[in-house]
Structure 1
Amino acid sequence: MQFPSYPLLQKVNDPADLRRLSRAELTQLSAELRAYVIDSVSKTGGHLSSNLGTVELTVALHAVFNTPHDRLVWDVGHQTYPHKILTGRRDRMPTLRQLGGLSGFPQRAESPYDTFGTAHSSTSISAALGMALAARQKGEDRHAVAIIGDGAMSAGMAFEALNNAGVQQDCKLLVVLNDNDMSISPPVGALNRYLAQLMSGQFYAAAKDLGKSVLKPLPPLFELAKRLEEQAKGMVVPATLFEKFGFNYVGPIDGHDLDSLIPTLENLKHLKGPQFLHVVTKKGQGYKLAEADPVAYHGPGKFDPAVGLQKPATPPKQTFTQVFGQWLCDQAAADIRLVGITPAMREGSGMVEFEKRFPGRYHDVGIAEQHAVTFAAGLACEGLKPVVAIYSTFLQRAYDQLIHDVALQNLPVVFALDRAGLVGADGATHAGAYDIPFLRCIPQVSVACPADEAECRQLLSTAYAQNHPVAVRYPRGSGVGTVPGNDLQTLPFGKGALRREGQRIAILAFGTLLYPALQAAEALNATVVNMRWAKPLDTELLLEVAARHEALVTIEEGAVMGGAGSAVLEALQAAGLPRPVLQLGLRDEFIEHGDPAKLLQLQGLDAAGIEQSVRARFPAP
């Protein structure tokens, strides 16, 4: 694939430059912008399909609205590369998702054009409404625009915000639904473009208001007119739902057609009250390989755009996600009670094969983490054995349901916590840093921390065998490469294992940091214990080890505050066994994007860092 030069794009250093271009030039700019996105992502890796789908929409929004005075709030934010490029960050794209470089998501600290930090879904309408009402209260003339995908509209928070916004008839709020799921051809075209522009125009709005004022004193005629309007609009648009929330609905229109987008946005900009624009886009638009397989090109690594994604020459090590996916299928084959649940993360959580083999026992509930957890609780009440596959960072969104609907009722739900610990390029918003602290304080919930792939499978089986809630946390990617067995063997519940016998210092490892701890222990001649469980803590093993060592070191890829190390201190205190304890883990700070190995090194959690910290705290006599 040959990439053109970028004569127009090179002249656009901020949206003010873009607003000086003609409509024909904006079309050319869109083509250059799409090519630049493909070229950039192929060199750095990152989100591709979603960004290719929002090129024209991004151009149109910046052309019509006076950004950053007018606020754009992007939901999730993994589709904002075109936005970043047009807002003064074009030349920094080679640093995307790298340590010290551009974030893959909007960040307020990165640019005034990033008005709200996002990465989790369904927050945009709430934030944009807050901005719109703040502008009204301060007497400022500005618009707030929320751009939300059809997937994010499946979350209850989006509808809570719509419900609140619909009664605010004097605010300048526009919600743009970027719908990349439905087919473009049936609902769009010349007729639909005309209807969209007509329904967003001042004449239509004025005529509609006049009709209401004339007919309101005559209720039967008013109700008849209202029903006729709804039926007429319903023939071409799914307007009724959003208009019931109090929004003026317009669309759907082609999200890749600037001749539809710009006039419609211009019209909506001059209407009063909350507006709702439905645009239809295509993931991967303009790059045939991504159009054909938008899932594969959702978040690719580096690739040759002319060739596309290629299978690696040597098969990569099995990931923890793949270990979970295989275990889930095997456990389901052995137990008809098993039900698998995911909140819209089928691929990310490794459930593709499970859905194929057990379609009747697979449930993708959409981006609705709260519902996923309570749904699992309902299944468990009826004697089924639900397994909720969820990223650690996303379980945070269902904390109340975890406590009240699962733990309080002591229901046997297994939580497979993927992406526990640091996640590399996705950064602070996706890091699973807090699950040990927020889980271990909940009564009746257990937390397992496998050290490698083989142990991950065994601890999943152990968790499944319990009659209460159990979470198994494991990181993104692969570990040391241990090959899991094919059976469903369990490990002793709540028990750790001695891995190395040393002198003076004992290192208690929770999870995959066991292996750098073993390396550090060779230089330190320290004892190493694979603790396996953050809760229940193996206090018998802990006290036995503590009794014959001068000092202890705890290590975990999670927040130090309230984490597994804190559990060790609590147990020692309760037993009246005072020992100096060095707690190693993630510091009390948000850790931004970068290479995972480098991030661990910066946190002092590689072998050299562990050794250095231990020597500094417990120098040799």
Structure 2
Amino acid sequence: MYLEKINSPEDIKQYTAQDRKKLAEEMRQAIIQRVSVHGGHLGPDLGFVEASIALHTVFNSPEDKIVFDVSHQCYPHKMLTGRSQAYLSPEHYDDVSGYTNPDESEHDFFNVGHTSTSLSLASGLAKARDLKGTHENIIAVIGDGSMSGGEALEGLDTIGEMGTNLIIVFNDNNQSIAEVHGGMYKQFAKLRETHGQYPHNLFRAMGLDYRFVEHGNDTEELIRVFREVKDIDHPIVIHVVTRKGLGYKPAEENKEKWHSCRGFNIATGEKIGKGPNPYFDTTASYLLHRMKWDHRLAAIAAATPSNFGFTPDKRKEAGNQYIDVGIAEEQAAAMASGMAKNGVHPVFATSATFLQRAYDQISQDVCINNNPVTFLVTWAGFEAMNDVTHLGIFDIPMLTSIPNLIYLAPTSVAEYRAILDWSINQKEHPVAIRVPLPMFTDSDSPVQSSYDRLNQSLVTHSGKDIAILGVGNMYHVARKAAAHLKDKGLDVTIINPLFLSGLDTQLLTQLMDSHRLVVTLEDGVLDGGFGEKVAAFYGPTTMRVMNFGLKKEFRDRYDRQELAQENHLTEEQIASDVWDAFCQLK
């Protein structure tokens, strides 16, 4: 074994070519084994094994600083920087995150999980180096579709003017999460076809030097090129052509499917631990059915078509009514506003964490102009993704701070479909829909045909003394907490607020006639959230208000049940706290 003996990059500096070949084989098998059990990103990491070995053979990390874009191709880097046990021993699988993390190692410089940032981050490292008068190499690794993000182009533009050492490793595997989109990728294809000689070269146009490496999975060729550019005195792009998923046949043959996974059977390639998402399936079936007769409907993705449930065959069925702008949420939001202005209704779907990147475009380009765009906000809530870079708990404060935007949180598949239908039919407002998590499919909340009456909450059970408002996913917890309180003799009013961007002030006023305690539940941060709006409304009154939600903080790879208990978000804790508060009112 080679891998188990590696504690730092120094351990591989004297390896022979044969040693490096065997090491790559061991690393690749370790990645496949770990992901098959633990889950994680597979295709990107398999394709970057040789490049990682070459980088750490030539450069002197951490003095020479390597910055990974998205960093879902950083597993090989972690193996070579003292963290190999996290890929060899199941008991250590949870020791590391799926992204670079400065808390883990001095060889990691940033927590990075969103795309197209490495060039900008590296430009900052390079500028600081120059101001301090030091001379280390700065290396930015970018690829896997990340070049399509606008920040990447901004970074290239700045770096092209800097005229100082900055080595960009462009990992070109002709793939994003799904297939690549955008005019620049047509030019990259021409560069591959001409062995880097095609005259229309984006990098040279930005003022950068350029080298082409056709065999990006050839460790020895990479070492030769990296040695030639080490300590270079100007910025250069090393265009490296790699094979995503290399070393595991299913991942090579279906790159989209094997970009990441929760676990799988290595021998059969059968994935485990992930069933269908009823909300994504509903979105896909609704949109595709409607597109057949409504040619003024379009679906926009920012490289994540899975948020629509759009598999490759469904994307083909949608035809030119499906648009993928690459990993560029800002472009998606602004383009959607333009489409809406010109008489087409666009639906843009992305996860809550990635929608953060388009805040300005949602506010400025869509909502100031009050253009009727539909945003589908997926994977929102603390029971969704739990990596610190992918948290879905900040969406309510973010989106409800924007005027003109209507933000709704349905509680079931049927309610979601009705709201989606209403949003596409109406022409008065930009609308965001907080798509529920897949474990919450049915509720007793009534399904309406119209949601034109804004900010109208739905009372699903009328009681007295206590009212519980459960936002979206938390409506289901509200019902269960109310059942616990019923066992104590309390008949609690249960409310589905539905609208997060405004309050049903008429209902809240009526509650003061027969209720003394109003409780709000949300699976996002409390600061700036829905509950605070309710508390502010009741501020001048004698109504007691309790807000249940999350503390505002960054948490990494938290245990979902533990986080719920810490914040008193389990049904038993809520019922107990509410009971104690009610008893104090007597």
> TM-score scaled by structure 1?
0.84
What is aligned with 1:563? 529
Letter of the 2:167 partner, please give it. Answer: L
Find the counterpart in structure 2 of residue 321 from structure 1.
Answer: 280
User: Do the aligned partners of 2:445 and 2:458 also contact (CA within 8 Å) in 1?
Assistant: no
Matched AA of 1:173: L
SS across alignment from 1:550? strand
- Report the CA distance between 1:236 and its aligned residue: 3.3
Whether 1:533 aligns to 2:492 is no
Which runs of no fewer than 5 residues in structure 2 stay unpaired?
A: 176-190
Report the 3-state secondary structure (helix = DSSP H, G, I; strand = E; otherwise coil) of the residue aligned with 1:341. strand
Which residue of 2 is the match for residue 374 of structure 1? 334
Preserved contact between residue 263 and residue 271 of structure 2 (Cα < 8 Å) = no
Match of 2:174 among 178, 181, 185: 181
Map residues 216-235 of structure 1 onto 2, 5 A cutoff. Answer: none
Greater Cα shift, 591-600 or 125-134: 591-600
Which residue matches 1:412? 372
What is the deviation of 1:582?
Answer: 1.2
Secondary structure at 2:459 match in 1: strand
Which residue identity lines up with residue 180 of structure 1 in the other structure? N
Distance 2:45 2:438 in 1: 24
The residue type equivalent to 2:170 in the other structure is L
1:613 has 2:544 as partner? no
Question: Helix, strand or coil for the counterpart of 2:375?
Answer: strand
Distance 1:40 1:58 in 2: 18
Q: Which deviations, in whole Å up to 9, do the C-alpha atoms of 1:176-200 show, x marking residues without a partner?
A: 1000017xxxxxxxxxxxxxxxxxx
Q: What is the correspondence of 1:100-139 to structure 2 with a 5 Å cutoff?
A: 101-139=95-133
Following the alignment from structure 1 to structure 2, what is the Cα–Cα distance between the partners of residues 510 and 484?
Answer: 12
* Contact 1:424–1:594 (Cα < 8 Å) also in 2: no
Contact 2:415 2:448 in 1 (8 A): no
Aligned positions of 1:437-476 closer than 5 A = 437-466=397-426, 467-476=428-437
Change (3 A) 1:331 1:577: farther
Gap change, CA 1:234 and 1:246, over 3 Å in 2: farther
Q: 1:349 to 1:458 in 2, by over 3 A?
A: same
SS in 2 for 1:429: helix
1:98–1:595 contact (8 Å) kept in structure 2: no
* 1:261-272 correspondence runs (5 A): 261-272=222-233
Aligned to 2:237: 276
| Cα pair distance change 1:84/1:502, threshold 3 Å | farther
Q: CA 1:36/1:244 → structure 2, altered by over 3 Å: closer, same or farther?
A: same
Asked whether the equivalents of residues 348 and 376 of structure 2 are also in contact (C-alpha less than 8 Å), the reply is yes
2-structure distance, mates of 1:130, 1:261: 26
Q: Which amino acid aligns with 1:479?
A: F
Q: Distance in 1 between matches of 2:548 and 2:445?
A: 28
Cα shift readout 1:190-235 (whole Å, capped 9, x = no counterpart)? xxxxxxxxxxxxxxxxxxxxxxxxxxxxxxxxxxxxxxxx9xx987
2:543 is aligned with 1:543: no
Instruction: Please state how far the C-alpha of 1:106 moved relative to its aligned partner.
Output: 1.1
Structure 1 residue 284: deviation in Å? 0.7
Which residue number in structure 1 is paired with residue 139 of structure 2? 145
Alignment of 1:350-365 (within 5 A): 350-352=309-311, 354-365=314-325
Preserved CA contact (<8 Å) 1:319 1:479? no
1:389 deviation in Å? 1.0
Distance 1:602 1:354, change over 3 A: farther
Letter of the 1:537 partner, please give it: L
Contact 1:495 1:537 in 2 (8 A): yes
- Measured on the aligned residues, the alpha-carbon RMSD in Å equals 2.7
- Rg bigger for which structure? 1
SS at match of 2:291: helix
- Which segments of structure 1 move beyond 6 Å, counting only runs of 4 or more? 94-100, 482-485
1:338 alignment partner in structure 2: 297
Question: 2:254 & 2:408 partners in 1: Cα distance?
Answer: 36
Query: Once the 2 structures are TM-superposed, how far is the Cα of residue 476 of structure 1 from its aligned partner?
Result: 4.4
- For residues 472 and 359 of structure 1, what CA distance do their matches in structure 2 show? 24
**Separation in 2, partners of 1:95, 1:474:** 37
Residues 391-402 of structure 1: matches in 2 within 5 Å?
A: 391-402=351-362
TM-score by length of 2: 0.89
| Structure 1 gaps, min length 5 | 1-6, 183-229
Q: Is the 8 A contact 2:278 2:441 kept in 1?
A: no
Equivalent residues of 2:30, 2:88 under 8 A apart: no
Cα deviations by residue, 1:527-565 (Å, 9 ceiling, x for unpaired): 221111112322222222243211111111112111111
Secondary structure of 1:605's counterpart equals coil
For residue 475 of structure 1, report the CA deviation from its aligned partner.
4.2
Deviation, 1:366, is 0.8
Q: Secondary structure at the match of 2:382?
A: coil
- Structure 2 distance, partners of 1:67, 1:277, is 18
Q: Give the AA of the match of 2:71.
A: G
Q: 1:77 aligns with which of 56, 65, 71?
A: 71
CA contact (8 A) 1:26 1:59 kept: yes
8 Å CA contact 1:323, 1:484 repeated in 2? no
One-letter code aligned to 2:231: H
Cα distance 1:618–1:70, how it changes in 2: closer, same or farther (>3 A)? Answer: farther
Equivalent residue for 2:220, pick from 259, 264, 281: 259
2:472 equivalent among 500, 503, 511: 511
- Residue 36 of structure 1, CA deviation: 0.6
Contact 1:317–1:481, Cα closer than 8 Å, also in 2: no
1:587 aligns with 2:537: no
| Farther-moved stretch of structure 1 (119-128 vs 605-614) | 605-614
* 1:603 aligned onto 2:570: no
- Shift of residue 497 of structure 1? 1.6
The separation in 2 between residues aligned to 1:387 and 1:88, in whole angstroms, is 45
Question: What's the % identity of the aligned pairs?
Answer: 36
User: What is the distance in 2 between the residues matched to 1:507 and 1:62?
Assistant: 56
In the TM superposition, residue 37 of structure 1 has moved relative to its aligned partner by: 0.5
* Matching residue within 223, 226, 249 for 1:288: 249
The answer to whether the Cα contact below 8 Å between 1:349 and 1:418 also exists between their aligned partners in 2 is no
Does the C-alpha gap of structure 1 residues 604 and 276 become closer, same or farther in structure 2, counting only changes over 3 Å?
Answer: same
Tell whether the 8 Å contact from 1:99 to 1:592 is kept in structure 2 after alignment: no
Name the SS of the counterpart of 1:592 in structure 2. Answer: coil
Is contact 2:265–2:272 with CA below 8 Å preserved after alignment?
no
- Cα drift, residue 422 of structure 1: 2.6
1:48 aligned residue = 42
Match of 1:304 in 2: 265
- CA distance 1:508–1:35, change in 2 (3 Å): same
> Partner letter of residue 305 of structure 2?
R
* Structure 2 residue corresponding to 1:385, chosen from 322, 345, 349: 345
Counterpart-to-counterpart distance in 2, 1:342 and 1:145: 30
The alpha-carbon distance between structure 1 residues 450 and 347, as it changes in their structure 2 partners (threshold 3 A), is same
CA spacing shift, 1:60–1:572, aligned 2, 3 Å: same
Alignment partner for residue 161 of structure 1, among 155, 162, 166? 155
Residue 18 of structure 2 aligns with an amino acid whose one-letter code is: A
CA contact (8 A) 1:73 1:114 kept: yes
On the 8 A contact 2:4/2:88 being kept in 1, the answer is no
Measure how far apart 1:23 and its partner are.
2.2
CA distance in 2, matches of 1:484, 1:152: 41
Tell me, what secondary structure is at the counterpart of 1:519? helix
SS in 2 for 1:41: helix
Distance 1:533 1:419 in 2: 18
Q: How far apart, in 1, do the equivalents of 2:385 and 2:95 lie?
A: 10
Distance 1:557 1:506 in 2: 18
Paired residue secondary structure (1:609): helix
Which deviates more, 385-394 or 121-130? 385-394
Classify the secondary structure of the residue corresponding to 1:87.
coil
Judge conservation of contact 2:518–2:546 (CA < 8 Å) in 1: yes
